[in-house]
Amino acid sequence: MTPPSVDQVWEWLETIPDPEIPVITLVDLGIIRDVAFHGETCVVSVTPTYSGCPATSMINMDIETCLRDHGLDRIELKQQLSPAWTTDWMSDKARAALEEYGIAPPQPAGGPTRCPHCGGTHLEKLSQFGSTPCKAQWRCKDCLEPFEYFKCI
């Protein structure tokens, strides 16, 4: 078969949801750093969000499954450590999707700007850590609901 173009591979990858936060895709998250063909092998470079994130192996499996489903059989996944992943690479589309989903998107100021449920701005931090390494727990003092905040790193 004729190998697909790099752009085509990116299009396929753009359909893969994050295993923990399915409203955003791996491409939105900014963790797929490069796609290239080395001969007939499709090399995808992926950078981990947090070094111990248990979703990493699931993410690799999802990428491989997706590409195999599109007929690629020579696939190499490369872990790329540097430059280290930053939430700056997250797309605006992903930020909006996170908030819609109930997770406050990362902010350079180091904390959420408003409650993703009611838009309230009287917020307090409950814990530096949440249900995944990338999130912290906050609470809105206006609607009294707890919510998760995607940490800015």
Partner 1 sequence: MTVDKNLLLQFLLRQGDNTLILGHRVSEWCGHSPVLEEDIALANTALDLIGQTQMWLGYAAEVQGEGKTADDLAFLRDAWDFRNVLLTELPNGDFGQTLMRQFLFDAFQSVLMGRLMSSSDETVAAIAAKTSKEVAYHVERSADTVVGLGDGTEESHARMQAALDFLWPYVGEMFESDETDAAMAAAGIAPDPASLRAEYDALVARVLAEATLTLPEGRYAHKGGRTGRMHTEHLGHLLAQMQWLQRAYPGCEW
Under the binding rule (CB under 8 A), the answer on residue 95 touching partner 1 is no
Measured from the CB atom, the residue of 30 and 130 that comes closer to partner 1 is: 130
Binding mask 116-145 for partner 1 (x = CB under 8 A): ----------xxxxxx-x---x--------
Give the separation between CA 96 and CA 83, rounded to whole angstroms: 25
Under the binding rule (CB under 8 A), the answer on residue 108 touching partner 1 is no
What is the enclosing helix (H) or strand (E) of 20?
Answer: none
Torsion of CA 120, 129, 126, 150, to 10 degrees: -10
- Burial zone of 47 (CB within 10 Å; 0-12 exposed, 13-18 middle, 19+ buried): buried
Under the binding rule (CB under 8 A), the answer on residue 153 touching partner 1 is yes
Q: Which structure tokens are listed for 86?
A: 């930053």
Segment lying near partner 1 (by CB under 8 A), choices 2-10, 20-28, 33-41, 76-84: 76-84
Binding mask 53-72 for partner 1 (x = CB under 8 A): xx------------------
Length in residues, the chain:
153
Q: What angle do CA 57, 4, 44 make, to 5 degrees?
A: 25
Q: Say how many residues touch partner 1, by CB under 8 A.
A: 21
The contact set with partner 1 (CB under 8 A) reads: 48, 50-54, 81-85, 126-131, 133, 137, 151, 153
